[in-house]
Amino acid sequence: YKTDVLVLGASASGTATAIQAARSGVKVMLVEPNNFSIGAIAPSMDVPAFNFGIWKEWKDAYTKKLDSLQTDPRVALEGILSKVNNLRYFKETQVVNIVKKGKSWEVSIQKNGSKIEKIKADVL
């Protein structure tokens, strides 16, 4: 794989970084070692910061899904991630190695226990 920006970890800050970078027009990959973004436990949506920016967009998407069977707010966030142009999201992907190569980075990953693959990124 080749990307402009590689974000390691789909925490709140990592996810927001990946979305905003992709929306600015650069190619972005977001790599998360676990099955869900924003952590193993579904977050409370009562956080005041969720009334602004990308987090308001997420909160609004989550509120629309409350009537469905998908009530986990992380499902709504992954729906947003899947629709952002220039963004590839890999979950259950382990970082095996990171090496600086000149002005760029080479990161070895393993997706779902499969063979090791490489990502070349300008920014890590």
Percent of the chain with pLDDT over 70: 91
Distance CA 68, CA 91 (A): 24
pLDDT tens-digit series, residues 44-64: 777 787 787 877 887 777 777
Q: What average pLDDT score do residues 82-90 get?
A: 95
Distance CA 121, CA 103 (A): 9
**Top-confidence range, 36-40, 62-66, 79-83:** 79-83
Q: Is 22 helix (H, G, I), strand (E, B) or coil?
A: helix
Instruction: State residue 5's pLDDT score.
Output: 98
